[in-house]
Amino acid sequence: MSLRLPLFPLGVVLFPGVLLPLHIFEPRYRRLVEDIVAGDRRFGLLLPGIGREAPPAGAVGTVAELRVTQSLGEGRSNIVVQGGTRYMVSRYLEDEAPYLVAMVEPFEDRDDTAVPPATLAELTTEFQRYDAARRRLHDLEPDDDALPTDAAALSFRVAGGMELDLAEQQRLLELRSTRDRVERLLELLPPLRRAMESGAAVHKRAEHNGKGHRTPGLMEGT
């Protein structure tokens, strides 16, 4: 069923179920936040078109559901949104609002793309190892939240937790096969996990060296 949706083109890919903090300062998007707070608290995030123009019809984005707002004065705010369903832009509407408004077509993954339990277990294990190394590298606290067991939800959670370029993130978002998304993630994860683990190990050695430990291979007094 078609949905009328205010749009916020931004250089970020939001995956269903994933939380995203945003700082709102541009006047037209300050107005957008005011309008959705007075309405159904939803807008659409999607990548901008070429030259930051409106994305073309057919562009795919994600419904952003407003969860938290923090006013900073002078109309600025920090907000937290959670990814809802994905959609494809059908057509733009003439509207008095200063931001884009479009009719969009929400969609979900196809029903015939089930993932074997063993493959889901492999994805869970690979991502847990990747995320643990990422947190060690960036000095972040461990994440105690359990990963989803539903295949589609897990694939989006993993995609949203990986450090990938925007083009790859967008390709993952647009896939309508859960199985294809999981298989692509399992291609991407092992090399990224190994690189993250290597970086975390170097980071740990550097921390030790900064606490009075002598760097291996360097002579004192040189």
What is the predicted pLDDT for the residue at 6? 98
Distances (CA, A) of 200 to 19, 129, 177, 206, 217: 25, 12, 33, 10, 20
E-strand ranges in 47-75 read 60-73
What is the predicted pLDDT for the residue at 209? 61
User: Is this model's pTM higher than 0.85 or not?
Assistant: yes
Please tell me what DSSP assigns to residue 51.
G
What is the predicted pLDDT for the residue at 140? 84
137's CB contacts (< 8 A; 6+ apart) are 196, 199, 200, 203
Q: Which residues of the chain have pLDDT under 50?
A: 212-222
d(CA 182, CA 158): 9
What is the predicted pLDDT for the residue at 215? 37
d(CA 33, CA 24): 8
Please tell me what DSSP assigns to residue 78.
E
What is the predicted pLDDT for the residue at 222? 29
Cα angle 157, 136, 211 (rounded to 5 degrees) comes to: 165
34's CB contacts (< 8 A; 6+ apart) are none
What is the predicted pLDDT for the residue at 121? 97
Domain boundaries, the chain: 3-107, 117-209
With tokens 């949203």, the residue in question is 160
Q: Identify the CATH homologous superfamily for domain 3-107.
A: LON domain-like (2.30.130.40)
What is the predicted pLDDT for the residue at 207? 66
Nearest partner of 189 among 217, 161, 209, 153, judged by Cα: 161
